[in-house]
């Protein structure tokens, strides 16, 4: 069962404009919310490919999406061309990416995405690959840690945070998300914005680092337009400025594409009330030229 609510669902459908018989790729399957809406639009004659790096997300979604024309695959969206070639697919009518973290991942206490989790500080989308965040936090030098938190989290107090982490980890290794959050929070001056946890940017930075998110995003935004059929569309939802900057520049600089969203598409008031996670979502859409 998923608790994840897909952001900008109607805007995604309007942007991708899937038609009966279309072949559409959801490169970040997550809880399958967008995929279900797309399947309704493309009908039995269409084909959906869903990718996710998170094996748990793919297996959970398979329990709800079992249509014969839906292929759900554990893979990084940057490997989409190779994965689709296994199905003899070289062109598609639409590609969707919703970047970042799903509510299901956040709710899984054993994965350490939640600031309040007493589970291991992991933060990997695929726990069979890469290095967990706890290892980074306990291994990196103060300077390297500060640079990482500043670069990937855009955290102004990164040096103060890194200094405290290094000081405290000598006595006790930092092993849980709650431990790290409790170290980070006092390092950041109080503000009137109480809705955002002070540890947010540090956790974002570590998550991006362990999953190499920006690296794979840069690869994908340069590769994926080649997969689009003439008139095909790509829609990408980002949740912070680092992602959005990469997406915006890549789409604008690609001569194959025509930008359909001059400004990022944001959630309306009703969605903001029903799904607070949508407040930072930015959707950009482009179309392959004929």
- For 17-23, the CB contacts below 8 A with 24+ separation are 17/94, 17/233, 18/42, 18/46, 18/93, 18/94, 19/46, 19/93, 20/45, 20/46, 21/45, 21/46, 22/46, 22/47, 22/93, 22/94, 23/47, 23/48, 23/49, 23/89, 23/91, 23/92, 23/93, 23/94
* Domain that residue 193 falls in: 109-212
CA gap 27, 44 in Å, rounded: 20
Same domain, 172 and 142: yes
Same domain, 222 and 282: yes
Residue 160: inside a domain, yes or no? yes
Per-residue pLDDT of 90-117, as tens digits, reads 999 999 999 976 555 554 555 556 777 7
* Residue 145 or 277, more confident: 145
Phi, psi of 252 (to 5 degrees): -70, -35
Band (118; pLDDT cuts 50, 70, 90): confident
Residue 2: inside a domain, yes or no? no
Same domain, 218 and 203: no
Nearest to 206 by CA among 250, 272, 162: 162
Per-residue pLDDT of 6-60, as tens digits, reads 899 999 999 999 999 999 999 999 888 899 999 999 999 999 999 999 898 899 9
Report the predicted TM-score, pTM, of the whole model to 2 decimal places: 0.89
Measured between its terminal Cα atoms, the distance across the chain in Å is 41
Per-residue pLDDT of 172-210, as tens digits, reads 999 999 999 999 999 998 876 666 889 999 999 999 999
Same domain, 71 and 165: no
CB 99 within 8 A of CB 77: no
Number of domains within the chain = 2
Residue 68: inside a domain, yes or no? yes
Same domain, 90 and 116: no
CATH code (residue 284): 3.40.50.150
Residue 72: inside a domain, yes or no? yes
């Amino acid at each position: 069962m998923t608790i994840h609510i897909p952001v900008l669902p109607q805007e995604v459908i309007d942007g991708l404009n899937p038609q009966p018989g279309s072949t559409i790729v959801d490169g970040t399957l997550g809880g399958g919310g967008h995929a279900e809406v797309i399947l309704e639009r493309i009908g039995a004659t269409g084909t959906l490919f869903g990718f996710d790096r998170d094996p748990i997300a793919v297996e959970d979604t398979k329990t709800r999406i079992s249509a014969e024309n839906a292929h759900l695959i554990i893979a990084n969206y940057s490997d989409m061309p190779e994965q689709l070639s296994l199905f003899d697919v070289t062109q598609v009518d639409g590609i969707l990416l919703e970047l970042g973290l799903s509510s299901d991942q956040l709710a899984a206490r054993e994965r350490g995405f939640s600031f309040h989790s007493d589970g291991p500080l992991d933060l990997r989308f695929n726990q069979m690959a890469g290095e967990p965040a706890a290892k980074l936090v306990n291994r990196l030098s103060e300077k390297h840690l500060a640079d990482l938190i500043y670069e990937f989290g855009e955290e102004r107090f990164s040096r103060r945070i890194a200094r405290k982490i290094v000081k405290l980890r000598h006595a006790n290794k930092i092993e849980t998300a709650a431990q790290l959050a409790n170290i980070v929070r006092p390092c950041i001056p109080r503000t009137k914005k109480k809705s955002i946890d002070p540890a947010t940017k540090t956790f974002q930075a570590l998550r991006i680092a362990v999953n190499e998110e920006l690296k794979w995003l840069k690869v994908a935004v340069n590769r994926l337009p080649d997969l689009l059929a003439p008139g095909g569309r790509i829609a990408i939802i980002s949740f912070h400025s680092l992602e959005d900057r990469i997406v915006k520049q890549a789409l604008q600089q690609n001569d194959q594409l025509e930008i359909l969203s001059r400004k990022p598409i944001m959630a309306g008031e009703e969605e903001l009330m029903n799904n607070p996670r949508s407040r930072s979502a930015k959707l950009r859409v482009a179309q392959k030229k004929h």
